Chain A
Amino acid sequence: MARTYLFIPGNVPRMLQNADVFEADALIIDLEDAIATYEKDEARELTAQFLRAHRPQGVEVYVRINAEEPLFSKDMKALAPLEIDGVVLPKTTLSSLKAYEAYQDQFDAKLPLIGLIETPEAFFELLQIAKFSLVKGLILGAEDLSAATGMHRDENGQELLFCRSKLLLAAKAAGIRAIDTPWTTLEEASLSLDIQSAKRLGFDGKCAIHPNQVPSINDAFFPTEEELRKARRIVKRHEETNSMRFSLDGKMVDKPVVEKAKALLESAEAYRFKRGKGQ
């Protein structure tokens, strides 16, 4: 499962054609906030030509589209023939999801989406959004949310705790990905604090708004040596006993714990050589 979701502006060739080398597990090519109104046509065309000619390999690719017409239809039409893992839908609400589904139904399409949760309204229908059929993950959009609520963010994330927790629980209840909001400065110390808040709560990954944020996020969401050691012991005991229920160090281990340990080891293997210093 992807740890780092890197935003790439859809109108900058230099960023697009190098997007796959920054070691993010997923890319979100942005046609929305990163693009000025008068550049929307340029960005859509460039992104489409890029994905047709050089679809990045070994990385998930999403496109953040514009939610409002007429741009929504133009974006969706341009993306239809392309090989992408889904779209990121800004300001996702239950009604915007229904509109998205209705548009897809016209063409008999089923392009998945990641919901960007960044309006107060969305928090009152979060579980329904998370359980909506085409939704494969939720991203917390704290910047737009701050603008809408008057919330003031800092690196300790106290003010965000409720929103993070609520989004996380809805995503976990629906069995989809919980993806944390980007941190908007490049300064290492505050980025690191912000990452740790999300990691402790149980988020699966986090957005990056600059390639230089990727190594820190990759590292933070890479299991620690202790987590790995414990997971290896659990899987080993499971294989020895051929059982999903046993005790280890005096604690009971059951099926979800075994499966979590297996998933942890698999992702660690997959990401072993995409870490900050590559140790």
Chain B
Amino acid sequence: MKHERLGELLDGLDLRDGMCVSFHHHLRNGDKTLNLVMQALHERGLKELHLMASALFPVHKPILPLIKDGTIADITTNYMNGPIAECLSNHGLKGSLTMQTHGGRARSIVEGDNVIDVAFIAAPAVDKAKNASGVHGKNACGSLGYAIEDSLYAKRKVLVTDNLVDTLEDPQIQGDAIDDVLLVKTLGDAEGIMSGTLKITKDPLGLKIAREALRLLQALDVFEDGVSFQSGAGGISLAITKGFNDIMRERGLKASFYSGGITRYHVDALEGGLVDKLYDVQCFDDAAIESLKKNANHHAISASNYANPNNANRVIKDLDVVILGASEIDTDFNVNVTTDSYGTIIGGSGGHSDTAEDAKLSVIVSPLLKARTPLIRERVRTITTPGKHIDCLITERGIAINPKRRDLLEKLKDTRLPLFSIEELMAKAHAFTGKPKVSHPGDKIGVVESRHGSTLDNLYKKGD
């Protein structure tokens, strides 16, 4: 059914207290859909809803009162920052917070661990047959990867769009699965949707870390025909992606695929013949969207085909190298990208622990010191990715290899790279900063869930 009024759409849904509603973060900090729908549900007096949003950003601040008054009781998400994250860290919520991974979210939906009553999917273009695409329209965002499972498995699937067209030739969401289409004035704010023009860091510390990462990858002989590679959209990651491309070009090599969030540096590699395929769950800039439109070997993929651990065809099971960040790491190589050292939620796994587990080589890149805050702790406040899945840590003051990876250490035994134990790196940091005080968590507010569905760690209020 096509609706032009939200009220009319909601009238036709089986709305109940405690129901689960889902949203997706491909419009990032430009998303208007989540606020619009949640506000309407609030006005209808619904209580104790389960909000299942693949990510929450500062733009979602207007739903704070709904968390405080119990309209929203439970939240399941893969990533959050901004006022909601701060509020939950300080005050908790009525029910419980579950932080999933991108692959874990898809798995939990496919396998029925999470039953979604209504999925609201923001779609930049929808045709008459209810097919949807992310690459057309004024609020184009590229891949709709994170919404695909919801569009297949939710009890009721609603597309929200501001751009109805006759036909879409390359739909990412198939219309036969869709129940309703809601036409709104505007889906979002284009400026918040795209990260703008992404630039390689100019920060000399970041560039040093990128150089060190490329040296390590060379020492480990990862550069060969058919290698596969993933790296994010942060400044250091982009510098590594560009350097990776340069080395592939110099040596006349061709990679099999780059995966994950896609940027112009990934597109450069595809168009320059340095990589066969791009597997794209999320476009980070306009160059990525344009490429998705025109390049046949640039594939938008669903979250399940990206990272669902029980999907035998997931892309990242063949991943050779992944470059990841960390807000803290401990001497067992456990990585935290979910909270800071004192419990404030600042992010979440996203694909962090999915790719770290699947990739043959997982490399953490981060400054050892951020002003007076040391990266390495004896114990991380929150485990996002278990240390057994982390292979290397690269900082501006040295490299640590997980001692479990004897094969890597053996390969590096004659290297002149600055290798240290992670304890030695921690001591180097403490020589500058002194030893930071240990945090004392407050009450439990939720859990960090592994991609397989087990509890990896608990989330607590900030405490003192």
A: which residues have CB within 8 A of B?
Answer: 14, 17-18, 21-23, 54, 210-212, 215, 272-273, 276-279
Contact = CB atoms under 8 A, between A and B. Distances in A.
Contact of B432 (A17, A22, A212, A273): A17
B422 to A, nearest CB: 18
A278 B202 contact: no
A59 to B, nearest CB: 13
A18 B215 contact: no
Contact of A277 (B202, B211, B369, B418): B211
Contacts of A279: 218
Contact of A212 (B207, B243, B397): B207
B437 interface: no
B432 A54 contact: yes
B204 interface: yes
Contact of B416 (A14, A272, A277): A272
A16 to B, nearest CB: 11
Interface of B: 202, 204-205, 207-208, 211-212, 214-215, 218, 243, 246-247, 369, 371, 396-397, 416-418, 431-432
A277 B215 CA distance: 6
Contact of A273 (B204, B207, B215): B215
Contacts of A273: 215, 416-418
A276 B204 contact: no
A127 B431 CA distance: 45
A18 B214 contact: no
A22 B214 contact: no
A211 B247 CA distance: 22
List the 6 closest A-B pairs by CB distance, nearest first: A278-B215, A211-B204, A273-B416, A21-B396, A212-B204, A21-B208
Most buried by A among B211, B243, B369, B396: B211
Contacts of A272: 416
Nearest to B367: A18
7 contacts: A21-B397, A23-B208, A211-B208, A273-B215, A276-B211, A277-B243, A279-B218
Given A21-B397, A212-B202, A277 B207 contact: no
A25 B397 CA distance: 15
Nearest to B243: A277
A4 to B, nearest CB: 13
A215 B205 contact: no
Interface on chain B toward A: helix, strand, loop, or mixed SS? helix
A134 B313 CA distance: 70
Contacts of B215: 273, 277-278
Contacts of B207: 211-212
A276 B215 CA distance: 9
Contacts of B212: 278
A22 B214 CA distance: 16
Nearest to A215: B211
A210 B218 CA distance: 27
Contacts of B416: 272-273
B218 A22 contact: no
Contacts of B204: 18, 22, 210-212
A279 B215 CA distance: 7
B376 to A, nearest CB: 16
Most buried by A among B208, B212, B243, B417: B208
B263 to A, nearest CB: 21
Nearest to A54: B432
A221 B212 CA distance: 20
Nearest to A18: B205
Contacts of A276: 211
A278 B432 contact: no
B392 to A, nearest CB: 15
Nearest to A20: B397
B183 to A, nearest CB: 50
Nearest to A277: B214
Contacts of A277: 211, 214-215, 218, 243, 246-247
B218 A278 contact: yes
A279 B247 CA distance: 10
A276 B246 CA distance: 12
Nearest to A270: B416
A278 B396 contact: no
Most buried by B among A211, A277, A278: A278
B396 to A, nearest CB: 4
A212 B204 CA distance: 6
A277 B247 CA distance: 9
Nearest to B371: A14
Contacts of B246: 277
Contacts of A215: 211
Given A17-B432, A272-B416, A277-B243, A22 B208 contact: yes
Contacts of B418: 273
B396 A18 contact: yes
Given A273-B215, A277-B243, 9 more contacts: A14-B371, A21-B205, A23-B211, A210-B204, A211-B207, A212-B204, A276-B211, A277-B215, A278-B417
Nearest to A269: B416
A21 B205 CA distance: 8
B30 to A, nearest CB: 33
Contacts of B205: 18, 21
A210 B208 CA distance: 13
A272 B247 CA distance: 18
B197 to A, nearest CB: 19
A17 B215 CA distance: 24
A241 to B, nearest CB: 30
Contact of A278 (B214, B397, B431): B214
B322 to A, nearest CB: 20
A23 to B, nearest CB: 7
A273 B418 CA distance: 9
Contacts of B369: 17
A113 to B, nearest CB: 27
Nearest to B211: A278
A277 B369 CA distance: 23
Nearest to B396: A21
Most buried by B among A18, A22, A23: A18
A211 B397 CA distance: 15
Most buried by B among A22, A54, A210: A22
Contacts of A22: 204, 208
